[in-house]
Amino acid sequence: MDTSFHMSLPCRSIKDTKSFYVDSIGASLGRHTQSWVDINLFGHQITFTKAGKFDFNNPNYVFEGHILPSFHFGVIVDSIAWKKIYNNLKDAGLELVTKATFLEGKMGQHSSFFIQDPNGYMLEFKSFKKPNEAFKT
């Protein structure tokens, strides 16, 4: 079954959010108005609605010696796309967080990095060494 996720999140600025996801990440713009925008993030739909400041308590956790944000969302891409996105964001001078390979040599080995969008959300890009292990336990 071919599926995609939909997530709706508040944002501070429609303009900054569109610019980040379309211009910096390379996602495509979907339906939008002045008060909301749909972003196509690799076939997954994120709707951002203008809500002003939204406060979260974002505790972190430690995984394999790395401090990671507990509240985040992301997308799993192949290694070619992962490297391209990483290099594009790095070349653009954007601050990337926690670039690491996790579970090295084990089932589920993957490379990840995080970036914060203009609304303060942490976005993770993940690439599995063996894509079929993404959901295996």
Mean pLDDT of 91-98: 89
Does 112 lie in the same domain as 75?
yes
- Per the listing, tokens 């914060």 go with 116
C-alpha to C-alpha distance for 49 and 57, rounded to whole angstroms? 20
Does 64 lie in the same domain as 36?
no
Quick check: pTM over 0.85?
A: no
**Structure confidence by residue, pLDDT tens digits, 61-73:** 677 888 877 678 8
Give how many domains the chain has, as a whole number. 2
Q: Evaluate whether 122 touches 114 at the Cβ level (below 8 Å).
A: yes
- Per the listing, tokens 């956790």 go with 61
Mean pLDDT of 74-102: 91
**Structure confidence by residue, pLDDT tens digits, 44-53:** 889 888 876 6
The rounded mean pLDDT for the chain is 85
> Is there a domain that residue 11 lies in?
yes
90-121 core/surface letters (b: 16 or more CB in 10 A; e: else): eeeeeeebbebebeeeeeeebbbbbbbbbbeb
Does 32 lie in the same domain as 68?
no
Does 95 lie in the same domain as 41?
no
Domain boundaries, position 18: 6-50
For position 81, which CATH number holds? 3.10.180.10
